[in-house]
Amino acid sequence: MMNIISDAFGLVFTTDVMIAILLSSIYGLVVGSLPGLSATMATALLVPVTFYLSPIAAIATIISASAMAIFSGDIPGALLRIPGTPASAAYTDEAYAMTRKGQAELALGAGLWFSALGGIAGTLSLMLLAPPLAEIALQFSTYEYFWLAFLGLMCATLVARSSPVKAIVSMLLGLMISAVGMENAGGIPRFTFGLPDLLGGIEPIPALVGVFAVSELMRAMVSPEPPQLPRRKFGSILAGQLKLTKKYWWPMTRGNIVGIIIGVLPGAGADMAAWVSYAMSKRFSKEREKFGTGHVEGLVEAGASNNASLASGWVPALLFGVPGDTITAIAIGVLYMKGLNPGPTLFTEKASSMYALYIIFILANIIMIPLGIWMIRGASFVLRAPRAGIMPVILLCCAVGSFATGNSLFAILTVAAFGIMGYVMEANGYPVAAMVLGIVMGTMFEQSFVTSLIKSDGSLLPFFERPVSAVLAALAIGALAWPLLIWLWRRARPMPVRA
């Protein structure tokens, strides 16, 4: 055992692995902070580089770049209200509100600190609980995924600040957008208007960039320059984080646990973890009214959650070659290429490589803190720069980033169209975050429902019969009926008093 661990340290602490971790971390930080370039994109672009690296260095680049990119997606979200990655979209409004209150360093510091802690918690789950967690993941068939997607969609009303009705309308619009294309169960092209570009559907990334970033730019054009934030030194980024950890230890732990569970499930990744955790945080908070006005609690829980899910997403990938999310899907290819074939034998025959992988996870989450501080300090200059100088650069980033997702001009048109849509929606009080949720979850929601019905020959019973499915169904229906019951109870109670 000690032998294996010292072997593992020997594998990790070599010059090439260290350089790989450092460079890919910086790369991940930069890519993640650009609107339109997601953590998945950052990872995919690294694949050709890994051809030329040793196995451990190749895996190290992917682990470090993806962890950094998920964190640094928070930076433009907090500073400009433009989420860098879909995983940050859930709490962008909250973080931006904190910046407007002059708490940018607290918001970003919380993002950094709790991302790092979440990443370490996720790694511990990978080290200690991989086999039992993987068994849970294997219990999930399409019936269970249907309820999961259902629960995810219900977050729409919780996340939004506006009226629940408008939030639901936005979410349904998102669902309708997710119906475009032929990536549906029937393989039938829908709403494509004969355009080949629409056959693949609307990609979430350009849509996200459009509704958040471009609509924000349009608002900036028509509104007067906001009062300049008082010019002051950017305070310490980590100060106060220990206090927050003590104050919000339970939301943080809950975020870690939810993130780990969602990460383990194939098909549900960091994006969903962030949404669910933010919604849970709001639902169970003692200070619910503060949410949406720049309250750090939701950031703590969601930030802890999305990075925890990133590490636990490797569990099914390493044990069964089943990707937990799009990032691990790419990582599996690299593992095969480097002779580290996923499977239980990886944990026995190649144990030293496995421990090396754990060490890299921990290392990446530790160096995230100094590198992240450096990145936040650099990025904080945008708060001082004149708006007329910043906005065109962002627009350029959006266009380049979206073009990069498919090398096609169509993505840029998508960004523009969604920008206009986002602007109109925001102007009328419809939350765009709820629509993004609909787009992200819609495919899984429909696919799991339709394929379940095909498998059950049209019977709805298996949705409630299977043990895990029954629990999830009870949760979903309970959450749906709860507000109604409360309302009925409140209505019914005064009656006897009066009588």
Partner 1 sequence: MTRITRRAFAASTAAVATSAVLGLRPSHAQAAYPSRPIQLICPWGAGGGTDATARIVGGLLEKEFGQPVNVINRTGGSGVVGHAAIAAAVPDGYTIGIITVEISMMHWAGLTELTPKNYTPLALMNEDPPGIHVKADGPYKTVKDLADAIKAAPPGKFKCSGTGQGGIWHLALVGWMQAMGLPANQVAWVPSNGAAPAVQDLAAGGLDFCTCSVPEARAMIDAGKVRSLAIMAPQRAALFKDVPTLTEAMGVNYSTGAWRGFAGPKGLPQPIAEKLTATMKSVYDSAAYKDFMASRGFGTVWNDAAGYAAFMDEADKAMGVAMKAANLAKT
Please give the residue ranges that form the binding site for partner 1 (CB under 8 A). Answer: 41, 43-45, 47-48, 51, 137-143, 181-183, 185-189, 196-200, 266-267, 316, 319-323, 326, 329-330, 332-333, 336-339, 341-345, 405-408, 410, 443, 447, 450-451, 454-455, 457
Nearer to partner 1, 80 or 270 (CB): 270
- Tell me how far, at minimum, the Cβ of 160 lies from partner 1, in Å: 28
Cα dihedral 365, 367, 371, 376 in deg (nearest 10)? 40
Nearer to partner 1, 227 or 467 (CB): 467
- Tell me how far, at minimum, the Cβ of 488 lies from partner 1, in Å: 38
Among 331, 405, 274, smallest CA distance to 58 is for: 331
Nearer to partner 1, 77 or 206 (CB): 206
Specify which residues 181 forms β-bridges with. Answer: 190
Specify which residues 227 forms β-bridges with. Answer: none
Alpha-carbon distance values, 440 to 239, 443, 445, 495 (Å): 35, 7, 10, 44
How many CB atoms neighbour CB 284 within 10 A? 13
- Tell me how far, at minimum, the Cβ of 467 lies from partner 1, in Å: 12
- Tell me how far, at minimum, the Cβ of 329 lies from partner 1, in Å: 7
Alpha-carbon distance values, 348 to 187, 307, 313 (Å): 42, 27, 20
3-state secondary structure of 423: helix
Nearer to partner 1, 7 or 197 (CB): 197
Tokens of 473: 């169904």
Tokens of 219: 């608002």
Q: What are phi and psi of 24, to 5 degrees?
A: -70, -25
- Tell me how far, at minimum, the Cβ of 196 lies from partner 1, in Å: 4
3-state secondary structure of 189: coil
Nearer to partner 1, 87 or 319 (CB): 319
Nearer to partner 1, 383 or 404 (CB): 404
- Tell me how far, at minimum, the Cβ of 253 lies from partner 1, in Å: 29
Quickly list DSSP for 82-99: --SSGGGGGGHHHHHHHH
- Tell me how far, at minimum, the Cβ of 35 lies from partner 1, in Å: 19
Nearer to partner 1, 22 or 182 (CB): 182
Q: How many whole angstroms separate alpha carbon 121 and alpha carbon 119?
A: 5
